[in-house]
Amino acid sequence: MSYTVQDLLELLDLESIEENIYRGLNRDIGTGRVFGGQVMAQALVAAQRTVPEERVAHSMHGYFILPGDMNAPIVYFVDRLRDGKSFTTRRVTAIQHGRAIFNMSASFQIVEDDGPEHQTEMPAAPPPESLVPDLELVRSRADSIPDHLRPILTQDRPIDFRPVDPIDPFDPVARPPRRMLWARVIGDMPRESLANQAVLAYASDYGLLATSLLPHALSIHTPGMQVATLDHAIWFHRPVHYDQWHLYVMDSPSASGARGFTRGSIFNEKGQLIASTAQEGLTRYHG
């Protein structure tokens, strides 16, 4: 089964059904419900469609309200909250079966060069070319993957993820709540900022919440583990070109109350901090 970058871009290219109203389809990646990164990315596309092209997203904050139904399209309603001289604010509500499953606030800004600039330093990491693609690692242990998940988890992917210190989600061992991986799309991306930001938003949900499970020798595939994203935020600091390698550095400062908190920093190959993420999710264990 194939899943290419063109398939991903088409998934994120929403249908306009009325002013401020858009519709998107779904793609199963093995979770049995709509992937949170897909909803985040599609909501960003819906919001950007109502904003002048010269204004680019600098932050987005989303709450996941209900699990998404894979078999039903998602309708996105955009509220135009504010159009200022420099900033534009939008609120997006995702609807299925007449109920909100997700809402998001996003802010857009004209491109500005004035103001001070600094960033945290990118940590040392082996180059992506020296690492094994995650898909190869998954396929090498295909026999341990449940039959119903094997065709989906071993299919071709639009994004090449290369973990620095791989884990086996079907046989996890305890380790500190930190991980790094390189990522980029397999193929070419349009130059427009929206497509690149949307794909980054999609990829930013990959492995983030699972980082909070590492110290406990648990994974999202551990029997009895109930995992679901509750909220997810992204701040875009610099332009994104996601057909180039990006290092995703993740850590989890806290887990308590059946919730795991995680955060991430996304650097390009030049060491520039491109985006930051934060996420909290349900991590309930029925052991």
User: Would you mind telling me the total number of residues written for the chain in this entry?
Assistant: 287
Return all residues near 263 (Cβ < 8 A) that are at least 6 apart: 250, 251, 252, 253, 276, 277, 278, 279
Residue among 48, 96, 229, 283 flagged as catalytic: 229
Q: Which candidate in 42, 205, 211, 262 is catalytic?
A: 205
Tell me the two tokens of residue 66: 């209900």
Please say if 229 is a catalytic residue: yes
Residue 237 phi, psi dihedral angles, 5° rounding: -100, -35
In degrees and rounded to multiples of 5, residue 266 shows phi and psi of: -115, 120
The verdict on whether 119 is a catalytic residue reads no
What one-letter code names the amino acid at 263? R
Instruction: Report the candidate in 285, 247, 282 with the shortest Cα–Cα distance to residue 267.
Output: 247
Indicate the DSSP class of residue 152: H
- 205 noted as active-site residue: yes
d(CA 110, CA 126): 36
Nearest to 183, CA basis, from 204, 155, 208? 204
Find the catalytic residue in 88, 211, 279, 283: 279
- Return d(Cα 282, Cα 205) in angstroms, integer: 14
Residues marked active site are found at 205, 229, 279
